[in-house]
Amino acid sequence: MSPSRVEVEIPPLKDLNIENITENVQLINSNTPDPRLKYVLERLVSHLHDFARETRLSTNEWMAGINFLTAVGQMCSDVRQEFILLSDTLGLSLLVDSIDHPKPPASTEGTVLGPFHTHDAEHEPAGTLISSDPDGVPCLVLCTVKDTAGRPISGVKIDIWETDSHGFYDVQRPDRNGPDGRTVMQSDREGVFWFKAVVPVPYAIPHDGPVGKMLKLLNRHPYRPSHMHFMFDKPGYDHLITALYLRDDPYESSDAVFGVKESLVVELTDVTPEQIKQYDCREDSKLITYDFVLVSDKEAKNLREANAMKAMKSLGRRMKLYKGLPVPEVD
Q: Applying CB under 8 A, which of residues 3, 59, 105, 316 lies at the interface with a second copy?
A: 59
Which residue from 4, 9, 54, 175 is in contact with a second copy, where contact means CB under 8 A?
Answer: 54
State the amino acid at position 185 in one-letter form.
Answer: M
Residues 6+ apart with CB under 8 A from 164: 131, 133, 135, 136, 170, 180, 181, 198
Candidates 32, 27, 28; CA nearest to 4 is 32
Does position 74 interact with a second copy (CB under 8 A)? The reply is yes
Angle between helices 82-89 and 92-100 (to 10 degrees): 80
Q: Which residues 87-146 are close enough to bind a second copy by CB under 8 A?
A: 87, 90-101
CB-wise, 265 or 276, nearer to a second copy?
Answer: 265
Binder among 117, 173, 220, 282 for a second copy (CB under 8 A): 220
Residues 225-254 within binding reach of a second copy (CB under 8 A): 252-254
Contacts of 320 (CB under 8 A, 6+ apart): 326, 327, 328, 329
What distance in Å separates the CA atoms of residue 154 and residue 188, rounded to the nearest whole number?
A: 5
Residues 272-331 that bind a second copy (CB under 8 A): 304, 307-308, 311-312, 315, 324-326
* Residue 169 contacts residue 116 (beta carbons within 8 Å): yes
Q: Are 187 and 153 in contact (CB under 8 A)?
A: yes
32 touches a second copy by CB under 8 A: yes
Please report whether residue 2 would count as binding a second copy according to CB under 8 A.
Answer: no
Distance from the Cα of residue 300 to its chain's centroid: 17
| Interface with a second copy, residue 61, by CB under 8 A | yes
Measured from the CB of residue 63, what is the shortest distance to a second copy in angstroms? 9
Q: For residue 52, state whether it binds a second copy (rule: CB under 8 A).
A: yes
Candidates 3, 12, 174, 235: give the one binding a second copy (CB under 8 A). 12
**Least distance CB 306 / a second copy (angstroms):** 11
